[in-house]
Structure 1
Amino acid sequence: MSVPTYMGVSGKSLAILQIAAIVAPSFVLFGYNQAGIGGLLSEEDWVKTFPEIDTVNSAGADKSSKSTLQGFVVATFVIGALIGSLSCSYTGDKFGRRNVIFAAAICSLIGEILEASSFGLAQFIVGRVIIGLGIGQLSSIVPVWQSETSAAVNRGRQVVLTGLFICLGYVLESWINLGFFEFHHGPVTWRPPIAIAIAFSLILMASIYFFPESPRWLVLKNRSEEARHAVAAFRGLPIDSTEVLAEVAGIEHSLEETSDNAARLSDMLKMGEDKLLYRFMLCILLQFYQQMSGSNLVSVYANVLFQKNLGMSAETSKILTGGALTWKFLASFIAFFTIDRFGRRAVFMISGFGMSACMIALAITTSFGSENKPAMIAAGCFIYLYNTFVPIGFLGANFLYCTEVAPIRLRMAMSSISTGNHWLWNFIVVMVTPVALESIGWQYYIVYAVIAACVPISVFLFFPETMGRNLEEIELIFKESPSVFATVKFAKTRPRNTPQQFLASKEKADHLEQSEE
């Protein structure tokens, strides 16, 4: 039997096309829109159009009040993203991965049009919430869809690209803002940078239905024949090949074990044999770390940190911000080359240790005040160094790990709620940062330093390695480990299986169980 194709390709070529046409635009939109107005807040025409959030020409209590409102306007994107990501706990399993991606692209398109055409703060806020709704859905559904279609051997490398594309979005936003800043006057300084994101939404809408649906979702809906077709296309193998049949059979086995108990959201709060609460808390903790280790602080407010915190000019701040985010993008390749070689645990621990050290250094150097130029130069260097460590473990790998440890029947719900937790802490960071920088200054960095220092400890104790295992194998690791505290060690000692070996071991276990009966 021939190998099924989509757009004339299959196997690695189809996976590359999936990354280029769906994953890249989705997460470039993520980064571009999240950082989208951070570099515009001091533009002359922006300030004239939205005087309610003008912190450039205000002082005292008025400036403090406008800083709070400015933080809220920036954070409205996150409110939409929180709602969007949580909605996927229902829509992702109800309507399928592709349909939700298409709906998310429509939301982001509408929001971008509203933002770019705004002449009042109310319209801008509505547009920002709608964009957030779309990006929140994409941040939840795309990693799940990609993880469910990827082979175990390179799943980490493929899914961790999400972080690289988030960085690319930051970089594009930063340099595009700088380019239009050179016009100095008029709406051209801020409307085109916002409108450029429309192109990525259109690419998503035009591309998604040319790709297969998630085989695991298809099996969930009792469409096993379509699932075999999708697996065969992504693996570049005939539908009747042993590898394809074994992989789909493994998915079916995993579902059969829980078929008598329909998945409920409340199940995630129970430990039980499958240790669902433990797995859910791993996802929640990981997304908490992603935000509260300072990643969003440095990405969204980089321009503010350079200009207001370190006392640099507007143009110099934009150039340094563009450089810092470009460096962050380049550092993202470290995760691409290490995630499937050294494992998830290693990249999380290295990233956490590095982020904590850099935040301590930022607290020390900025405590001298902006008049101390050597200290400010050192602080700028530590922002760059911080951007080396973040993408190693917490700009893609966190989304990957959450999709890996979640069980198939609750994968969409667990992933979407943990991503919603990501957006919740994102909202808190965005709201608090302008006020915190004005009020407590350098001490603000200590909070992030302490939280980041907890990453290596908790990962070492509680996060089992998932590298090189198919999703059904990971399910068995949690189910068979004797306790929460023994899961990490159990994962190290349990041998890895190919889909065929996994299926054979399952059939043998089933046969022995029937014999005993």
Structure 2
Amino acid sequence: MPFGLTGRALARMQTALIVAPAFILFGYNQAGLGGLLTEDDWVKTFPEIDTVHSKGAEKSQKSTIQGLVVAVFVIGALFGSLSCSWSGNAFGRRNVIFFAAICTLIGEILEASSFGVAQFIVGRIIIGAGVGQLSSIVPVWLSETSGAKNRGQTVVVSRRAPVTWRPPIAIAIFFSLVLMASIYMFPESPRWLVMKGRVEEARPLVAMLRGHAVDSLEVSSEIAGIEYSLEETSHSAVKLTDMLKMGEDKLAYRFGLCILLQFYQQMSGSNLISVYATILFQNNLHLGSELARVLSGGALTWKFLASFIAFFTIDRFGRRALFIISGAGMACCMVSLAITTSFPRRTEAP
């Protein structure tokens, strides 16, 4: 029994030590690079992606390489997330989370110690692979260890030296270590244990997670429900080709909806702001380097804090309402950003 906790208290500890670090790693490693792209020692260390001291065709070429360096993180995340469709069932949820944390740790060390673009790209890919696995397997593990009632709630310095960019990248190492140190303190997914025929191991875990006695009716009912669900799934296993057909379960519709939601999330401009906010403030609005970073940090801090709104509203108002409200809000923000950054720079009369 981890920390001597059961029920809701254990669920809160899971969120604090596993879920929060996992998704902080995603956001931090994805967006944290944006504030460093114009930093003096950064462009000195990586002249191949220096868009500050270049112009014309040279700047265009370096911008392309810079975009590649930023984007390889997502490529690594793609392959990492896809691998979980096999590894999650083969090795268990906790083992995959631990391995993903190791990947992020190795990648962060490579990034923070980089003296060349090639090493930095390798680090970005490895971090992406780890983060992709975390983004896929942590919600599965959490949903399988959470009660149905709260499932939606739970699944949701200025110096010219290396110290200006290496420590900020290395900060993420802390969250990787938290994951590695904490994951085996928590129970494995009861569903995975039942799937592997280890029902007697799953029973006390369900009791602990729900805060009931091992021989209680609630625990027996949940175990029976898991067994029934797995039995139904084994008799009607879904193939990839079945997901492209409608049928009674409308699998094509559901599959397309998942793809479109992820696509629109990425294309809404949120990642653009997260990664390039500093450059927008500095180059488009012609703000000072330090002020641009302060404003960028403020924007990302607000983005982090705003994510907790869904925690308190998702089970009350439902997923669809939150999608509509957040989508409309994002559209207004992007319209405002496009308008305000399009004004020509005002110069004072001589």
TM range (shorter): over 0.9
CA distance in 1, matches of 2:344, 2:228: 62
Matched, 1:210 2:185: yes
CA drift at 1:320: 0.8
CA drift at 1:87: 0.9
SS in 2 for 1:257: helix
CA distance in 1, matches of 2:291, 2:79: 36
CA drift at 1:333: 2.7
CA drift at 1:372: 8.8
Match of 2:112 in 1: 116
SS in 1 for 2:234: coil
Matched, 1:234 2:230: no
CA distance in 1, matches of 2:192, 2:345: 54
With normalisation by structure 1, the TM-score equals 0.65
CA drift at 1:132: 0.9
**Given residue 120 of structure 1, which amino acid in structure 2 is its aligned partner?**
G
CA distance in 1, matches of 2:111, 2:338: 35
Note the aligned Cα RMSD (angstroms): 1.7
CA distance in 2, matches of 1:372, 1:93: 62
CA distance in 1, matches of 2:14, 2:147: 14
Match of 1:187 in 2: 162
CA drift at 1:263: 4.1
**Given residue 86 of structure 1, which amino acid in structure 2 is its aligned partner?**
L
Contact residue 117 and residue 191 of structure 1 kept, 8 A: yes
Matched, 1:335 2:321: no
Residue deviations 1:223-278 (CA, integer Å, cap 9, x gap): 22222222211111112111111122122222222322344333322333332222
Match of 1:125 in 2: 121
CA distance in 2, matches of 1:106, 1:312: 39
**Given residue 162 of structure 2, which amino acid in structure 1 is its aligned partner?**
P
With normalisation by structure 2, the TM-score equals 0.94
Contact residue 112 and residue 167 of structure 2 kept, 8 A: yes
Match of 1:249 in 2: 224
Contact residue 53 and residue 69 of structure 1 kept, 8 A: yes
The size of the alignment, in residue pairs, is 348
- Identity score, percent: 73
CA distance in 2, matches of 1:344, 1:211: 28
Match of 2:14 in 1: 18
CA distance in 2, matches of 1:149, 1:372: 60
CA drift at 1:154: 1.2
**Kindly tell me: are residues 370 and 301 of structure 1, through their superposed partners in 2, closer, same or farther at Cα, counting changes over 3 Å?**
same
Q: How does 1:443-482 map to 2 (within 5 A)?
A: none
CA distance in 2, matches of 1:221, 1:278: 31
Match of 1:42 in 2: 38
CA drift at 1:296: 0.8
CA distance in 2, matches of 1:299, 1:372: 29
Matched, 1:105 2:104: no
CA drift at 1:45: 1.2
Match of 2:234 in 1: 259
CA distance in 2, matches of 1:95, 1:339: 31
CA distance in 2, matches of 1:259, 1:124: 44
Of the structure 1 ranges 49-58 and 144-153, higher mean CA displacement relative to structure 2 is found in 144-153
CA distance in 1, matches of 2:193, 2:347: 61
CA drift at 1:56: 0.7
Matched, 1:322 2:318: no
Matched, 1:96 2:101: no
CA drift at 1:297: 1.2
Runs (5+) with no aligned partner, structure 1: 161-178, 374-517
Contact residue 45 and residue 187 of structure 1 kept, 8 A: yes
Match of 1:441 in 2: none
CA distance in 2, matches of 1:199, 1:46: 22
Contact residue 6 and residue 233 of structure 1 kept, 8 A: no
Contact residue 115 and residue 194 of structure 1 kept, 8 A: yes
Contact residue 112 and residue 198 of structure 1 kept, 8 A: yes
Match of 1:480 in 2: none
Contact residue 8 and residue 210 of structure 2 kept, 8 A: yes
2:287 is aligned, of 312, 323, 327, to 312
